Structures are given as structure tokens and as C-alpha cells.
């Protein structure tokens, strides 16, 4: 009976298997941070949620992130509509921002974001330190935003000076 009770939350979408690498608050922070990008996104655009197709946990994280975002993430004057994208398919482009799910921030994401000149965001601070993604966000226990300056420059991403004073830049 206990084993049945243990799987019920996961089946109903409320268990640990359903948790996303970024929280709803992290995503709100991302929406606010995007307003400091130069130029800031506007209109309705696509937010690619990149996942590693060979990693079921990565796909699960991407799906959880998409559920959290729902119909769109408000970012200043923009609404970013989520679309799950396998990292191998990022080369097709057509997105304004890439949100790298667990285990997805690697060379394909880095190459696509540099080529498309778009921001890559992740919960993986090590990926940002390695230059695979531009920005990492964590809102608990306090808001922390890490930006890799070299990765941002390589992707043609710039932020307002006021934002750069509020974050940690490496």
C-alpha cells in the first residue's frame, strides 16, 4: 500500500519527478532580466526549451519547464511562447531565447545561440562558468544571476549597465 501511495503524486503531476530545474520564481526573474537585454525582445516570440534527446531526465525537465511557463513568459514588451526543441534540432533556428533544460547546456546549444545571436539561460551555474550558456538563474534562498561575459559577447548579447551592476559577471 505504501508503494502505491508513493507513486500517486508522480502520476498526478505533483511529485519530485515533476519538478523543473527552474522554479516559477526563477522564470519571473528571467522575464525581468530579459527587459535589460539590448535590444530587449518584443512582441510574441519563441522560447526554445532545449533538451538532450538521449537523456530522459533532460526531456522530463524540459516538459516540466514548459508546463510552468504555460502559454507564455512575459518579458517586458515580449511574450515568449515555449517550444520543446531537441538540442540536435536547434540548428534550424527560429527562437528568441534558449532555455537549456537539465543536461542540455553543451556544444549544440552553445553553437546555436552564438549563430542565432540569442541568449541561453539555464539553472546550471557550472555550464555558465564553462561558457556553454550565457546566464544562470537561482532565486532561492536569494536571487542570484550569473552571466558569462565572454559567452555573451560571442553571442552578441549585451545588457544595460544598470543590470550589470545587479548581477555577478565572470
The alpha helices in the chain, defined as continuous H runs, are 2-12, 24-34, 56-69, 107-116, 125-129, 149-154, 161-164
Whether 97 and 112 have beta carbons less than 8 Å apart is answered as: no
Report the pLDDT value the prediction gives residue 18, as an integer from 0 to 100: 63
Domains belonging to the chain, first-starting first, are: 22-169 (3.40.50.2300)
pLDDT at 39 over 90: no
Query: Coil, strand or helix: which one is 64?
Result: helix
Three-state secondary structure call for residue 41: coil
- Digit-coded pLDDT (tens) for 94-124: 999 999 999 998 999 999 999 999 999 999 9
pLDDT tens sequence across 62-98: 999 999 999 999 998 899 999 999 999 999 999 999 9
- The three cell numbers of residue 93 are 533556428
Give phi and psi for 76, each to the nearest 5: 65, -120
Residue 9 scores a pLDDT above 50: no
Q: Per-residue pLDDT tens for 134-164? A: 999 999 999 999 999 999 999 999 999 999 9
Average pLDDT of the residues in 31-41: 91
At 6, is the pLDDT very low, low, confident or very high (cuts 50, 70, 90)?
A: very low
pLDDT at 3: 40
Amino acid at each position: 500500500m505504501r508503494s502505491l501511495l508513493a507513486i500517486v503524486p508522480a502520476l498526478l503531476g505533483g511529485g519530485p519527478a515533476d519538478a523543473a530545474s527552474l522554479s516559477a520564481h526563477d522564470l519571473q526573474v528571467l522575464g525581468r532580466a530579459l527587459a535589460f537585454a539590448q535590444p530587449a525582445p518584443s512582441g510574441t516570440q519563441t522560447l526554445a526549451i532545449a533538451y538532450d534527446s538521449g537523456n530522459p531526465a533532460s526531456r522530463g525537465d524540459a516538459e516540466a519547464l514548459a508546463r510552468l511557463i504555460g502559454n507564455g513568459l512575459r518579458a517586458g514588451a515580449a511574450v515568449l511562447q515555449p517550444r520543446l526543441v531537441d538540442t540536435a534540432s536547434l540548428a534550424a533556428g527560429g527562437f528568441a531565447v534558449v532555455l537549456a533544460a537539465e543536461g542540455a547546456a553543451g556544444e549544440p546549444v552553445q553553437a546555436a545561440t552564438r549563430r542565432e545571436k540569442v541568449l541561453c539561460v539555464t539553472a546550471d551555474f557550472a555550464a555558465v562558468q564553462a561558457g556553454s550558456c550565457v546566464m544562470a538563474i537561482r532565486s532561492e534562498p536569494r536571487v542570484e544571476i550569473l552571466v558569462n561575459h565572454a559567452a555573451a559577447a560571442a553571442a552578441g548579447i549585451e545588457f544595460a549597465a544598470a543590470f550589470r551592476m545587479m548581477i555577478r559577471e565572470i
